[in-house]
């Protein structure tokens, strides 16, 4: 199980979902399904509210979900001399803008 921290100040985005059940869950604020546009990954939010368990497959239809861009995100910041735990993160890195417009 891969448990990760949510990105502080991440801009909320609505992902393309693989099925209508996932689409309903991601839109429901009461559901623990979480989507990070910055990392392009889905997860189940844990009780602590700031962590989630990364999903590799859709819980409803079983389709493999897109590969996470988390490692690439950290590499891009490092290339620009930005330490995410010490510096402010540029706004375009707080959403899918950094990879969807590349």
pLDDT one-digit tens code per residue, 21-76: 999 999 998 899 999 999 999 999 998 778 999 999 999 999 999 999 999 999 99
Which two three-digit tokens encode residue 8?
């502080």
What's the confidence (pLDDT) of residue 61?
97
* 3 close to 31: Cβ distance less than 8 angstroms: no
What's the confidence (pLDDT) of residue 13?
84
Return the SS3 of 33: strand
pTM for this structure? 0.87
């Amino acid at each position: 199980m891969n448990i990760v921290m949510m990105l502080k100040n991440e801009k909320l985005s609505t992902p393309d979902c693989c099925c209508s059940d996932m689409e309903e869950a991601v839109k429901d604020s009461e559901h623990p399904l979480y989507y990070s546009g910055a990392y392009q990954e889905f997860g189940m939010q844990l009780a602590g509210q700031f962590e989630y368990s990364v999903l590799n497959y859709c819980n409803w239809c079983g389709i493999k979900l897109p590969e996470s861009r988390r490692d690439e995100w950290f590499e891009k910041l490092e290339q620009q001399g930005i330490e995410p735990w010490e510096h402010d993160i540029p706004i375009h890195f707080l959403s899918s803008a950094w990879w969807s417009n590349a």
